[in-house]
Amino acid sequence: MSKQRAIFLDRDGVININRVDHVRTWQEFVFEEGSLKALARLGATDFRIFIITNQAAIGRGLVARETVEEIHARMIHEIERVGGRIDRVYYCPHKPEDNCDCRKPSPGMLWRGRDDFELDLAHSFLIGDWIDDVRAAQGAGVTPFLVQTGRGKRAVEEMRARGMNVPAVFENLDDAVTEILQGAYAQNSVRRMEKKET
């Protein structure tokens, strides 16, 4: 059985509007413009779809783990209503100073998805809005994309200021999904043509 490709999505700033004071209730969870449309499009593909998100508010005692899981359950319900799906949500509840192996920029959550679902990370993508997303993707051998929603514009500026290589940048999640799907379907078409010729 061949390994599956995946698309890993950061949550805050990619799927929903980022809040400096954290999303603490479902009422504070607001989908980014176009994100539901993008998730509906992904739902029709053979990609595995995951959310990987740092939720240090849990470790700081600002929100209960049960509340975060309730927010995720409601989020998935709304995504499924438009025809999308999320195969699993991985979240890190730790504070940066806890030095865990799951908090981005560590690739721990991506590796967990790989192990749980037998993923082909070399042909997978991560869409995020911050430098830590890029580093996590690179650490796992996944292709990173940045969006300009959330903290994305500041991430690009900081990466350039530090002399870091900036990955492909897109206006929002829907534009990033378009790029992935066009490339993925083109590759699949080439593979089908090669099989017919042999």
For the question of residue 46 being annotated catalytic, the response is no
Of these residues, 10, 129, 132, 174, which one is catalytic?
A: 10
For the chain, the distance separating the N- and C-terminal CA atoms, rounded to the nearest angstrom, is: 21
pTM for the model:
0.91
User: Domains of the chain, with CATH numbers?
Assistant: 6-197 (3.40.50.1000)
- How far apart CA 111 and CA 105 sit, in angstroms, is 12
Q: What are the pLDDT tens digits along the chain (198 aa)?
A: 578 999 999 999 999 999 999 999 999 999 999 999 999 999 999 999 999 999 999 999 999 999 999 999 999 999 999 999 999 999 999 999 999 999 999 999 999 999 999 999 999 999 999 999 999 999 999 999 999 999 999 999 999 999 999 999 999 999 999 999 998 655 553 343 344 444
Of 80, 35, 76, nearest in space to 170 by CA: 35
